[in-house]
Amino acid sequence: MKTPRTNRKRGFTLMELMVAMTVTTMIVTILVSITAIALDTWTRSRSEVRASRQAKSMLDSMARDLEALVNRRGANTEWLSAVVEPMESKGETPAIDSPNSANLIFYTSPTDRYDGEVSEEEKTIGDIACVGYRLMYQDPIQAQGAKEIPTFVLYRNLIDPDETYDKLLSKSNRTASSLDSMFNEAFGSDIDDANNFVCENIFQFTITLNVRVERSFARGAATIDVPITLSSESGSATEFRLEAGNIITDFSARGMDVTDEDIKSGSLTSVEVSLTVLTDFGVDQMRKRSFKSAKEQSEFLAKNSYQYSKLVPVATP
C-alpha cells in the first residue's frame, strides 16, 4: 500500500530574499534622494521668492524717494548726505559685519508726506520732507520679555514737511552742522521705531552715485560720466554730499580724465542701489557660527544670499 505524499508549500530561498531586499533598498534610496532634491529645490525657491520680496520692498521705497529728490542750486543747504558708517547693533553682534552700510539722508517730496493727505488745504504748508535710511542689526519686533532674534533690518524714517522745516531747513542756513548730524540729533532716536520698518535680512546695500562732468577742450567739449561707489573698502569713497548744487566727496579722481574740481562742479544724474539679501537660514547661521577665513565667509554668503540692483534717475538742478 502506497503512503500518500503530503503537498508542502515551498517558501522563499535565502538568495531570493536577498535579491528582493536589495531591489527594495535601491528603490527606497532613489525615492529618498528624489524627495531630498525636491525639498532642497522647494526650500531654495521659497528663499529666493522671500529675498526677492524683501529687495523689491526696499528698492521700490528708495526709488520713489530718490525720484522726488530735491536738489537746488543757490541755497546754502546740504540736500543729500550719504556717509559710510559702521552698522549699529543692539545686543549681540553678527558673525560678519556688513561691509557696506551707508547712512543715507536727503530731502525729497514723496507722495506719502503728510501721511498721503497732501490734498487737504490746511496741511499743504510745505512740500519738502526729509527721509533717512539706516541699516541696523537688531530684533525688529523687540517684544518685551521675549528672547531677541536679531537680523539685518532696514529702516526708513520719513519726517513731516513741517518738522523738516522747523528742525532742519530753517537751521541749515544758520549753522555749519551737516545734514546727517542735524538729522541724527533731532530724529536719530526714532529711526528704529516699528513704524519705520521697511524690510529685513538686508545684509548690505551699496550706493553708486553717477556724476556727469562737462569738460571743455581746445577742440570742443566732452561729457564724462563718473560712477562714485560708497564703500568701507580702501580706495572707495566713504561720503557723498550735495550742497547748494555742488558735490562734496572724498572720492579721488586720480588716473581719470577728470579732476576732483570737475567732480565738485558736476551734476548727479542717477543713483544705483545694490542689495545683498540673506536667506532666513543664512541669518540664523550668523547668530550661531564663526568663520575661520575670508574664503569661508565668501562661500557662505554666495550660497545663502541673493543680489539685486536698481538704477534710479534723479532730477538735476
Stretch (H or E) spanning 34: helix 14-67
pLDDT on residue 291 = 81
d(CA 89, CA 138): 6
- Which DSSP string corresponds to 128-179? -EEEEEEEEEE-SS--TTSPP--EEEEEEEEEPHHHHIIIIIHHHTT----H
> What are the residues whose beta carbons fall under 8 Å from the beta carbon of 86, sequence distance 6 or more?
97, 101
pTM for this structure? 0.80
pLDDT on residue 108 = 92
Mean pLDDT by 10 residues, the chain (317 residues): 57 79 88 80 70 83 91 82 82 73 89 65 68 88 64 90 87 71 88 87 89 76 87 82 88 84 90 89 81 85 88 85
Sign of CA dihedral 314, 268, 224, 312: negative
CA 193 to chain centre: 18
pLDDT on residue 220 = 66
SS3 for 246-294, per residue? EEEECCCCCCCCCCHHHHHCCEEEEEEEEEEEECHHHHHHHHHCCCCCH
Contact yes or no for 58/198 (Cβ under 8 A): yes
Contact yes or no for 254/188 (Cβ under 8 A): no
